[in-house]
Amino acid sequence: MGKTHADVVGAFAVMDELGAELGLEWKASKDRGRDVPLQQLEFLGMLFDTVALEMRIPHSKRQRYVLGTTPSGQAGAGAL
């Protein structure tokens, strides 16, 4: 991460060049933050929030966890 979006764009350029030299293919659908600055990003199944300085489990994953841990398989009153 950079201090400015221009820093991030520059880092993407370096990654693109290095990846091309190594023969790595960049998956465009996973490309986030290149065109527009982001404060929240989902990465490896976690939600990173750089403004709140938090790392969270996305709501959809929390719901699946709750459903998987209740005896009946249905979320109860205390569901997240």
Average pLDDT per run of 10 along the chain, which is 80 residues long?
79 89 83 76 85 89 83 56
3-state SS assignment for residue 6 = helix
Buried b (16+ CB within 10 A) or exposed e, 22-60: eeeeeeeeeeeebeeeeeeeeeeeeebeeeeeeeeeeee
- Residue 55: which of 65, 63, 47 has the closest Cα? 47
- Which of left, alpha, beta for 14 (phi over 0: left; psi -120 to 50: alpha)? alpha
pLDDT value of position 23: 93
pLDDT value of position 18: 93
- Global pTM reads 0.47
pLDDT value of position 17: 92
pLDDT value of position 21: 95
